[in-house]
């Protein structure tokens, strides 16, 4: 068996995978479709090389296939960023054949835009965290519908704040609604109770997982950082040591300023648009708490306000600085993984 490296591009689909096999000289040895199973993919490559370097675009299910090829077939598999691969291609034509060949060629020349291949444990935590986020979004939408129904009938209750037990009791029994509106309101309230219970179940699972993760335990030691913030950071970032420095981590989190300078013009253009929106939201909420309770971040916020910076920019700056500090803190503790 030859020991020369073989480069494989995998164009992933739910039911099939287009497999392109390429040698070190760039010659296409095979390019065909096979079933979505690691054994079939391995057979498609066959005995063409003992050192197999494969590339597959990051998408739903691709990480699981990559894990199987690494563990079962002994391959080296890289996940590619789909957006950057599309920009590199720069062609209006799209076929599975050409996509697989492009991935193999990018892997061969070392130009593949790689993304981090999260281990299964982190992917499972990420699914659980995002499931909770979906439930919270549903609850938020439901609360808006309840308030809208009350507003339609010009009903207000001033004896208690909204969503307290007293206020909910008034909505359930005291608010004078017409029959059909009352039926709709009861359905909303029942669904709200059910969603709240499901969110508590998910949070209980997350609390159990947090007890088994040293990095989450370390995050929870920071004042103002609760369970949801800690597990979201752990799920979306995964390993802190995959970033070269704290600045790169801040950009990944979407809390870094975006520069729009050109020539003599120097200007900022708000925050960078990249990054996970939910992670940025969680970090923004954490920054508000840090400004409220932590003297160090209170001082930074006051300093920025005195310089005339708007509140959203101040909060983003605190979030950015806190993440960069956290990066170095975890590195020094040996907990970046």
Give me the residue spans of the domains in the chain. 5-115, 120-212, 237-333
User: Cα–Cα distance between 309 and 315 in angstroms, integer?
Assistant: 10
Asked whether 21 and 27 are in contact (CB, 8 A), the reply is no
| pLDDT tens digit sequence for 106-118 | 999 999 999 999 9
User: Cα–Cα distance between 305 and 299 in angstroms, integer?
Assistant: 10
3-state secondary structure of 37: coil
DSSP summary character for residue 241: G
Compute the half-sphere exposure of residue 176: CA atoms within 13 Å on the CB side of its CA: 1
Looking up tokens 């006051």 gives 302
Neighbours of 313 (CB within 10 A): 16
What is the average pLDDT score of the chain?
90
Asked whether 62 and 14 are in contact (CB, 8 A), the reply is no
Q: Give yes or no for residue 260 having a pLDDT over 50.
A: yes
Asked whether 133 and 126 are in contact (CB, 8 A), the reply is no
User: Cα–Cα distance between 78 and 63 in angstroms, integer?
Assistant: 10
**51-57 and 16-22: which strand pairing?**
unpaired
Looking up tokens 């291609």 gives 89
Which residues have a Cβ under 8 Å from the Cβ of 308 and sit 6 or more positions away?
none
CATH of domain 5-115: 3.30.420.40
Bigger pLDDT: 198 vs 278: 198
Looking up tokens 């490559």 gives 45
Asked whether 24 and 7 are in contact (CB, 8 A), the reply is yes
Which residues have a Cβ under 8 Å from the Cβ of 119 and sit 6 or more positions away?
238
Q: How confident is the model at residue 268 (pLDDT cuts 50, 70, 90)?
A: low
79 membership: H or E segment, kind and range: strand 76-80
Q: Give yes or no for residue 264 having a pLDDT over 80.
A: no
User: What pLDDT score does 333 carry?
Assistant: 63
Question: Among residues 100, 325, 81, 334, which one has the least CA distance to residue 223?
Answer: 325
User: Cα–Cα distance between 37 and 211 in angstroms, integer?
Assistant: 35
| pLDDT tens digit sequence for 111-141 | 999 999 999 999 999 999 999 999 999 999 9
Average pLDDT over residues 85-92: 85
Q: How confident is the model at residue 310 (pLDDT cuts 50, 70, 90)?
A: confident
DSSP summary character for residue 205: H
Both structure tokens of 20: 């392109």
User: What pLDDT score does 1 carry?
Assistant: 45
User: What pLDDT score does 27 carry?
Assistant: 93
H helix intervals, 153-211: 165-169, 179-210
H helix intervals, the chain: 38-45, 62-72, 82-89, 96-109, 120-152, 165-169, 179-210, 214-220, 227-237, 246-253, 277-293, 295-306, 311-333
Which residues have a Cβ under 8 Å from the Cβ of 107 and sit 6 or more positions away?
7, 8, 9, 53, 54, 55, 78
């Amino acid at each position: 068996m030859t020991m020369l490296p073989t480069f494989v591009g995998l164009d992933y689909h739910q039911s099939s995978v287009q497999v392109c096999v390429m040698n070190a000289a760039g010659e296409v040895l095979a390019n065909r479709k096979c079933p979505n199973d690691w054994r079939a993919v391995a057979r498609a490559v066959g005995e063409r090389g003992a050192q197999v370097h494969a590339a597959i675009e990051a998408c739903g299910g691709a990480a699981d296939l990559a894990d199987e090829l690494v563990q079962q077939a002994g391959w080296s598999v890289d996940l590619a960023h789909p957006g950057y691969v599309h920009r590199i291609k720069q062609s209006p034509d799209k076929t599975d054949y050409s996509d697989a060949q492009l991935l193999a060629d990018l892997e061969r020349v070392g130009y593949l835009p790689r993304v981090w291949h999260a281990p299964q444990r982190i992917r499972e935590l990420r699914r659980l965290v995002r499931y909770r986020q979906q439930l919270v979004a549903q609850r938020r939408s439901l609360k808006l519908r309840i308030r809208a129904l009350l507003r339609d009938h010009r009903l207000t209750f001033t004896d208690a704040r909204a969503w307290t037990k007293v206020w909910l009791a008034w909505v359930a029994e005291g608010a004078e609604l017409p029959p059909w509106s009352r039926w709709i309101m009861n359905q909303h309230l029942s669904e709200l109770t059910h969603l709240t219970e499901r969110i508590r179940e998910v949070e209980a699972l997350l609390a159990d997982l947090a007890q088994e993760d040293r990095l989450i335990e370390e995050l929870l030691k920071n004042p103002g950082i609760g369970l949801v913030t800690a597990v979201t950071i752990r799920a979306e970032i995964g390993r802190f040591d995959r970033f070269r420095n704290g600045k790169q981590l801040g950009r990944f989190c979407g809390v870094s300023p975006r520069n729009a300078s050109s020539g003599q013009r120097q200007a900022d253009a708000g925050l960078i648009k990249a990054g996970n929106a939910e992670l940025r939201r969680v970090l923004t909420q954490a920054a508000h708490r840090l400004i409220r309770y932590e003297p160090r971040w209170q001082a930074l916020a006051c300093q920025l306000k005195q310089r005339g910076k708007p509140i959203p920019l101040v909060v983003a700056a605190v979030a950015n600085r806190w993440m960069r500090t956290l990066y170095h803190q975890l590195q020094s503790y040996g907990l970046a993984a």
